Amino acid sequence: MAELNGAPVTTDELKSLALVNYGHFTSMRVDDQRIRGFSHHLERLVRDCRTLFGAELDRQHVRELIRQAISGRGGSFVTRVTVYDPDLELGRPGADAEPNVLVTTRPAGALPMPPQRVQTATYLRDLPEVKHVGLFGAIWHRRNAQLDGFDDSLFTDYDGFVSEGATWNIGFFDGDQVIWPNAEVLQGVTMRLLQQVHDRTSLGPVNVSDLPRMQAAFATNTTVGVRAITVVNDVEFPAEHAIFDTLRKEYEEIPPEAL
């Protein structure tokens, strides 16, 4: 399913997204027509639209487009809202833009997802605070990690300070509290919600050299929830830990929002 501004999208309307690749998006897990953190997703879309296009996005209109696109569909799935201008030209990105709203869906995996093993890479995404469609660097490093026998890539700066994963945030448990890296990252909705409900939470620098003293590591985003990380390079972590049970329970107890 793919609808642009409430109508089936055409190939011509997708050309700019494929060839110019300028826009932003958010992905949301839908469970029985309800979305946990939905207001945060809308906030992200409005904020990123101002940043990339200098335009105001109508929250209520976006809500109506999502509601129409997924109407009558039960169970759990992922819906993605992508904002881009089908008429944007590669040679004139500074022209006045008219952001359009593309709504797509895909299946959702069962939770909790299996643990993953990650490899670090020195990388900082362009505009890391924006969830933009420019994913080449992230996918490149994910590919390299998989070719090296890992599942995904974890980004660090040149001094070895951890920031985020290719498409997810990372948290650590030091035996007392959950630590989120205070680096330049995309503020994921799942991460933000967990920070709000888990009392023993802090932001701080996390260097690769600090990892051996951590008791557990995990990834978060809307599609994986809380996912255990069992390996970062050559540092091993448990696949099961009480902190995972706690965080998953706290996250599931957050009331999902109706569309």
Q: Give dist(CA 105, CA 71) in Å, integer.
A: 12
pLDDT of 101: 98
Helices (H), 203-241: none
Please list the alpha-helical segments (H only) found in 57-99.
59-70
Per-residue pLDDT at 255: 96
Residue 217, pLDDT score: 98
- Could you give the domains of the chain? 2-107 (3.30.470.10), 116-258 (3.20.10.10)
Picking from 222, 202, 180, the residue whose alpha carbon sits closest to that of residue 79 is 222
- What integer pLDDT is reported at residue 1 of this predicted model? 81
Per-residue buried b or exposed e for 173-209, using 16+ beta carbons within 10 Å of the residue's own CB: bbeeebbbbebebbebbbbbbbeeebeebeeeebebe
Q: What is the residue-level pLDDT of the chain in tens, covering all 259 positions?
A: 899 999 999 999 999 999 999 999 999 999 999 999 999 999 999 999 999 999 999 999 999 999 999 999 999 999 999 999 999 999 999 999 999 999 999 999 899 999 999 999 999 999 999 999 999 999 999 999 999 999 999 999 999 999 999 999 999 999 999 999 999 999 999 999 999 999 999 999 999 999 999 999 999 999 999 999 999 999 999 999 999 999 999 999 999 999 8
pTM of the model: 0.95
Burial of 159 (0-12, 13-18, 19+ CB in 10 A): exposed
